[in-house]
Amino acid sequence: MLIGIDASRATAERRTGTETYSLHLIRELLALAQEHRFRLYFNRAPAPGLFADRAELRILPFPRLWTHIRLSWEMLTQPPDLLFVPSHVLPLVHPARSVVTIHDLGYLYYPQAHTLSQNLYLRWSTRYNARQASRILADSEATRQDLIHRYGIPADKIVRVYPGRDESLAPVTNPAVLSMVRERYGVRGPYLLYIGTLHPRKNLVRLIQAFASLLQSLTSSSQPPAADLRLVLAGQKGWLVDDILAQVRRLKLQDRVIMTGYVPDTDLPALLSGALAFVFPSLYEGFGLPVLEAMACGTPVVCSNTSSLPEVAGEAALLVDPLDTEALAQALEQVVTDGALRQRLVERGFDQVQRFSWRRCAEETLQVLEEVGRGVD
């Protein structure tokens, strides 16, 4: 079977969750499915060696509407037996046998976290994918249930396939490396760490409020590390970031909240390993790869108890209502002041991450692709 894959998202230089998913899953599919042929479609040339030599690479440059015009033309003139779209939307013209991954429906729950044009496009593209695809992959059971109940998609059309995690990640223990990375981002003293884009859905305004409450509580009770504790927000600035910046100024936390900007993959393990805890209070996540990355680096995790995050974190994190700022502050105080708790979370985290691998993700994805390719409903 000739399997075509929209690999356009996998070439991003600064990858977020969907781009990471696309890259790692495609690599594992190429390694796993030796009996099939693969054709990968790009809107720009990938870096040399990004994918295995056994795949046919089709580079299709086009200035605008690449998916619906240029990729559609390719589907019309040289269609594969089956098309898989891991991180975007099906082109208007596509093979009858098509599979697509829908990562989340967060825009339905928090429309204010997106621009009007983004909201309209997300609503249209999700409905279109759900209607046109032969089968849908969902990153989590939470997303699968959202698709069933919010869009009325038949349950047997949606398969939950968990993403994997970067199995090269491990705790960084070399003091020189830890110190070098901290120095690079201006981080002094103990710190709590968030990683991700800075935008409203990540709930960072409440996190900053909770951090201010934590500092006040630690100071009033003379508990360490009140004097020099920092909150590090690592990620590129997104839409409506001004509210986050304003909250830092209102609470006079300019010297306590460090915004690093985008952090490359090479620095993330050391930044995670050096943190007292990783904090992920997101209002909604389709999966939540940063939680697994933190656990793999031996970092205790505090995260939301909503959407897919309980599936990802299991019993290896402190789960908290992301709308309850006081509860978030209390969870932060627990993890900062209780060394035994941190150690328990670290040990549970190492066990939890073993449940997720890109090989398992690829095996389950390939099973769906082969079923669709055979015409199995």
Residue 377: per-residue pLDDT = 47
Q: How much is the average pLDDT of 211-226?
A: 86
Question: pLDDT class for 230, splitting at 50, 70, 90?
Answer: very high
Rounded to whole angstroms, how far apart are CA atoms 359 and 361? 5
pLDDT at 298 over 80: yes
Give the tokens for residue 10. Answer: 């996998």
- Select the more confidently predicted residue: 108 or 226: 108
Contacts of 200 (CB under 8 A, 6+ apart): 110, 112, 113, 239, 240, 243, 283
| Same domain for 147 and 67 | yes
Among the residue ranges 60-74, 110-124, 178-192, 300-314, the one predicted with the least confidence is: 110-124
What percent of the chain is modeled with pLDDT above 70?
99
pTM for the complete prediction?
0.89
Task: Give the burial class of 254: count Cβ atoms within 10 A of its Cβ; 0-12 exposed, 13-18 middle, 19 or more buried.
Answer: exposed
208 pLDDT more than 60 = yes
**Starting from the edge strand earliest in sequence, which strands make up the sheet with 318-320, in order?**
257-261, 230-234, 191-195, 277-280, 301-304, 318-320
Identify whether residues 74 and 198 lie together within a single domain: no
- On the question of pLDDT at 214 being above 50, the answer is yes
pLDDT value at 373 more than 90: yes
Given a contact cutoff of 8 angstroms between Cβ atoms, the answer to whether 287 and 163 are in contact is: yes
| One domain for residues 101 and 49 | yes
* pLDDT > 50? residue 181: yes
What would the pLDDT profile of 193-203 be if each residue is shown by its tens digit?
A: 999 988 888 99
**Same domain for 123 and 202:** no
365 has pLDDT over 90: yes
Query: Number of structural domains, the chain?
Result: 2
Residues 223 and 346 reside in one and the same domain: yes
Q: Are residues 140 and 200 in the same domain?
A: no
Whether residue 187 is predicted with pLDDT greater than 70 in this model: the reply is yes
Read off the pLDDT band of 344 (50, 70, 90).
very high
Res 184 pLDDT > 60:
yes
Both tokens assigned to 230: 């920092």
125 and 224 together in one domain: no
Instruction: Provide the terminal-to-terminal Cα distance of the chain, rounded to the nearest Å.
Output: 17
In this prediction, residue 51 carries a pLDDT of 86
148 plus 95 within the same structural domain: yes
Average pLDDT, the chain: 93
Q: Are residues 338 and 221 in the same domain?
A: yes
Quick count: other Cβ atoms within 10 Å of Cβ 52?
Answer: 13
**Contacts (Cβ under 8 Å, ≥6 apart) of 219:** 226
Q: In CATH, what number is assigned to the domain containing residue 85?
A: 3.40.50.2000
**If DSSP states are collapsed to H, E and C, what string results for the chain?**
CEEEEECHHHHCCCCCHHHHHHHHHHHHHHHHCCCCEEEEEECCCCCCCCCCCCCEEEECCCCCCHHHHHHHHHHHHCCCCEEEECCCCCCCCCCCCEEEEECCCHHHHCHHHCCHHHHHHHHHHHHHHHHHCCEEEECCHHHHHHHHHHHCCCHHHEEECCCCCCCCCCCCCCHHHHHHHHHHCCCCCCEEEEECCECHHHCHHHHHHHHHHHHHHHHHCCCCCCCCCEEEEECCECCCCHHHHHHHHHCCCCCCEEEEECCCCCCHHHHHHCCCEEEECCCCCCCCHHHHHHHHCCCCEEEECCCCHHHHHCCCCEEECCCCHHHHHHHHHHHHHCHHHHHHHHHHHHHHHCCCCHHHHHHHHHHHHHHHHCCCC
Distance CA 224, CA 221 (A): 9
Confidence at residue 376, expressed as pLDDT on a 0 to 100 scale: 56
* 76 and 215 both lie in a single domain: no
The stretch 150-160 carries a mean pLDDT of 95
Q: Which domain holds residue 299?
A: 175-353
Q: What is the pLDDT of residue 371?
A: 96
pLDDT in tens, 13-58: 777 778 889 999 999 999 998 899 999 999 999 988 888 778 999 9
Query: Same domain for 283 and 367?
Result: no
Same structural domain, 342 and 239: yes
Q: How much is the pLDDT for 115?
A: 80
Give domain status of residue 169, yes or no.
no
Residue with tokens 């089956």: 82
In this predicted model, which residue has the larger pLDDT, 376 or 200?
Answer: 200
Residue 240 domain-assigned?
A: yes
Are the C-beta atoms of 105 and 150 separated by less than 8 Å? yes
Six-digit token string for 173: 């223990």
φ/ψ bin of 186: left (φ > 0), alpha (ψ from -120 to 50), beta (otherwise) = left
